[in-house]
């Protein structure tokens, strides 16, 4: 499938920003299941400082704002060719040890709710238990934008039984690590035929299973990622893979507007 993506992130400030430094993780890379046909990141109201590959192999662009700017506009757009791999991303990178993905973070530390859920998971293998986990979350959790924030922990979201894709991913990661299964957070895009225009990018979890490698679990939709998914960045949790993160000094009140469109096109259509 060919997926055409147009992602606009715009920050507005009441006053000119004294200084801002932001990391952009807005560039997908070729990997098992996806080939980037073309991709550009346009920056308006900020200065591109440097691009580099971080320790999770994400392509990061560092941009700064200084002066009279009151608006910063980031446009990531392009076409990615995707293939269905049954959710299997593949082998671990040789220079990133798997034990790193067993580390808990403040967002994924297992509390009473996570511990109790892990104890109830059914299945004769780690893969089966993770699929059961998606079924349980699908039944008990309510997808509810605005119910949580970027600071909400996996345990708190599970206790509240509501959240967004970020919360579902954190819960899967917390449960997997409690099972001694390496797990990581993935940010990216999801093509939804019924809703090409979206208000946010997507996120899911990947767990490392012997014999399969990294396998994706999108608990918010109770599926393993297929050709509708475009993978952009990964890390221990949201903070490592957020599309935009950083710090801002001055500027007064900040407003954020995101406009995202993911349009799908079958290969047969593209070749006709």
Contact 1, 49 (CB under 8 A): no
Phi-psi map region of 125: left, alpha, beta (phi>0 left; psi -120 to 50 alpha):
beta
Give me the percent of the chain exceeding a pLDDT of 70: 97
Judged by DSSP in three states, 269 sits in: helix
Given CATH 3.10.620.30, say whether it is the number of domain 2-265.
yes
Name the packing angle between helices 165-178 and 112-120 (round to 10°). Answer: 70
Q: How confident is the model at residue 39 (pLDDT cuts 50, 70, 90)?
A: very high
Choice between 23 and 199, residue whose per-residue pLDDT is larger: 23
Which pair of structure tokens corresponds to residue 177?
Answer: 């690590």
Query: Stretch 169-188: mean pLDDT, rounded?
Result: 98
Structure tokens at 214: 């990294």
- Identify which of 182-186, 245-249, 267-271 has the greatest average pLDDT: 182-186
- pLDDT in the model for residue 226: 96
Pairwise CA distance, residues 59 & 39, whole Å = 13
Q: Where are the domains of the chain?
A: 2-265
Per-residue pLDDT for 64 more than 70? yes
- The pLDDT score that the predictor gives to residue 272 is 40
Q: Model pTM? A: 0.94
CA distance 6 to 197: 10
Overall average pLDDT of the 234-258 stretch: 91
CA pair distance 94, 50, nearest whole angstrom: 26
Question: Are 245 and 239 within 8 A, CB to CB?
Answer: yes
Given this model, what pLDDT does residue 155 score? 97
Q: How far apart are CA 261 and CA 4, in angstroms?
A: 8
CA distances to 37, 206, 268 from 92, rounded to whole Å, are 24, 11, 33
Residue 211, both tokens: 């014999």
Please report the pLDDT score of residue 120 as a whole number: 96
For residue 245, the SS3 value is strand
Give me the chain's average pLDDT, please. Answer: 93
């Amino acid at each position: 499938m060919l997926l055409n993506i147009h992602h606009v992130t715009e920050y507005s400030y009441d006053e000119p920003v004294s200084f801002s430094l932001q990391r952009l993780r807005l560039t997908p890379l070729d990997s098992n299941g996806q080939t980037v046909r073309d991709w550009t990141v346009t920056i308006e109201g900020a200065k591109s400082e440097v691009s580099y590959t971080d320790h999770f192999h994400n392509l990061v662009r560092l941009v700064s704002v200084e002066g009279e700017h009151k608006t910063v506009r980031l446009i990531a757009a392009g076409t990615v060719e995707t293939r269905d791999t049954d959710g299997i991303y593949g082998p671990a990178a040789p220079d990133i040890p798997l034990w790193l993905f067993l580390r808990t973070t403040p967002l994924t530390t297992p509390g009473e709710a996570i511990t109790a859920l892990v104890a109830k998971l059914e299945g004769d293998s780690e893969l089966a238990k993770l699929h059961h986990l998606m079924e349980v979350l699908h039944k008990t959790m309510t997808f509810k934008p605005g119910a949580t924030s970027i600071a909400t922990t996996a345990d708190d979201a599970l206790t509240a039984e509501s959240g967004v894709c970020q919360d579902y991913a954190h819960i899967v990661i917390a449960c997997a690590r409690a099972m001694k299964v390496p797990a990581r957070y993935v940010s990216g895009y999801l093509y939804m035929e019924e809703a090409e225009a979206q208000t946010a990018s997507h996120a899911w979890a990947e767990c490392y299973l012997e014999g399969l490698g990294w396998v994706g679990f999108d608990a918010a939709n109770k599926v393993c990622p297929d050709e509708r998914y475009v993978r952009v960045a990964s890390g221990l949790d949201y903070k490592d893979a957020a599309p935009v993160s950083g710090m801002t000094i001055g500027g007064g009140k900040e407003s954020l507007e995101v406009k995202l469109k993911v349009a799908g096109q079958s290969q047969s259509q593209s070749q006709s």
